[in-house]
Amino acid sequence: MLIGIHYIGECVFDNTLPFSDTQNSVKLQNCIADTLHIDKIAKVNDPIKWTGHTRLLARFNGNFEAGNIDPNELNITKWRIKRNKPNELKQTVGEVENQWNVEHRFEDYFVKAKQVYEYTVVPLIDDVIEGDDITHPVEVDFDGWWLVDEDTQLQFLYNLDDATYDLEEDREEIRTFSKYPLIRYGPSRFRRGTLIGLFIPQEKTAKEMEEILDSMIEARKPYILKDGQGRYMKVNIYEPEITIPHRTLKSHVLRVGVRWVEIADADS
C-alpha cells in the first residue's frame, strides 16, 4: 500500500508538505492500484530518456498491463474462458491451467447449434489478477442429438429414427349444461419424446456407451438435451430400451432408445 499526501487522491491537509517538491525515489511494493499519477520533479538516471519533468500516468483498469509492466515477465497460471451471446454480458464458463509449449483446449458442450457466441480468453496472474482479454465470435454447428451434463456427454448420431415429441399442456374440458364445453388451461407446458439410434463403437465400445447411458439414468440428474437445429432443453431421462441385433457384427452395434421429458428452462 502506498500512503502519502498527494499520492492517492486529493490533498486532505492544508499544512505545508514535510518534503520538497523534488523526489529522489518512489517505491511501490505489494501494491495493486487503479491509477498511479506522479507529476513532481524527479531526479532519475534510469532510463536515460526520462527527464526531470517526466510525468507518469498508469491506469491499471483492474488488470496487470499498465505503466512499464511487461506481461511476458509475469506468472500466468491459468486462462479464464468467458462466453456470451452478442450484446449480452460475459459469463465465466471455465478455466484452463497454463502450460508452456502445450496446446490448450477447452470443450464447451452447453451451447446451442446455429447460434453465434463470443468466446473471451483472459490470462490470470497468480490465479487472481486478470490481464487484457481476447474475444472471437464462433458459430456453433454439430450433428445429431446430445445428452450432456458437467461430467458426461453422450451423442445419438447414427441411424436415428424420426425424432418425435409431444407438447403437453394443462388442459381440461369441463362439460356444462350449455351447448359447448368449457376449456381451462393451467401453467404447465412441456415436451416429452423418445430418442432412438445406433451406438457404433469409436473411442468406446457399444457396450461401454450402453453402460454410460445406464449410469446417467441411475444418477437421477437433469441433463441438457440438444440437437443440431438449435433445440435446447433440460430433461429427465428414463425407460431405456436396448436392442441387440440377431446377426451381430464384430463391432457389436447396439440399437438404443431412451424416453425423456422436459423439466426446466435450460437457459436459466
Residues 181-195 have pLDDT tens digits of: 999 999 999 999 999
* 8 A C-beta contact, residue 257 and residue 194: yes
Cβ(26)–Cβ(37) below 8 Å: no
Same structural domain, 95 and 47:
no
Q: What is the pLDDT of residue 38?
A: 59
Domain annotation covers residue 168: yes
- Beta partners for residue 262, in sequence order: 235
76 CB-near residues (< 8 Å, 6+ apart): 98, 123, 124, 125, 131
| Cell 517505491 -> residue | 27
pLDDT for the residue 229: 92
Domain end, chosen from 59, 85, 101, is at 59
**Residue with more model confidence, 202 or 137:** 137
Q: Is residue 165 part of a domain?
A: yes
In whole angstroms, what is the distance from residue 119 CA to residue 202 CA?
29
Bridge partners, residue 158, by sequence: 198
Same domain? 76 vs 118? yes
Question: Which of 125, 109, 147 lies closest to 237 in space, CA to CA?
Answer: 147
Per the CB < 8 A criterion, the answer to whether 229 and 246 are in contact is: no
Q: Buried b vs exposed e over 77-92: b needs ≥16 C-beta within 10 Å?
A: ebbbbbbeeeeeeeee
Asked if residue 2 lies in contact with residue 8, where contact means CB atoms within 8 angstroms, the answer is yes
- pLDDT digit string (tens) for 39-95? 555 444 444 455 555 555 555 555 555 555 555 556 788 999 999 999 999 999 999
* Tens digit of each residue's pLDDT (9 = 90 or more) over 142-179: 988 999 998 899 988 887 777 788 999 999 999 988 99
Bridge partners, 255 (sequence order): 198, 243
Q: What is the DSSP string of 165-230?
A: EEEEEEEEEE--SSSS-EEEEEEEEEEEEEEEEEE--SSS-HHHHHHHHHHHHHTT--EEEEETTS
Q: Would 64 be classed as within a structural domain?
A: no
Whether the per-residue pLDDT at 196 is higher than 60: the answer is yes
What is the number of structural domains in the chain? Answer: 3
| CATH classification at residue 211 | 2.40.30
Average pLDDT score over residue span 237-253:
77
The grid coordinates listed for 53 are 519533468
What size, in residues, is the chain? 268
List Cα–Cα distances, 30 to 2, 27, 33, in angstroms: 9, 10, 10
Domain carrying residue 131 = 71-139
pLDDT band at 22 (very low <50, low <70, confident <90, very high): low
pLDDT band at 9 (very low <50, low <70, confident <90, very high): very low
Write down the pLDDT at residue 23: 54
Cis-peptide into 123, omega within 30 deg: no
Identify whether residues 193 and 121 lie together within a single domain: no
Average pLDDT, the chain: 78
- 66, part of any domain: no
- Range from 13-17, 48-52, 91-95, 248-252 carrying the lowest mean pLDDT: 13-17
pLDDT at 35: 58
- pLDDT for position 158: 80
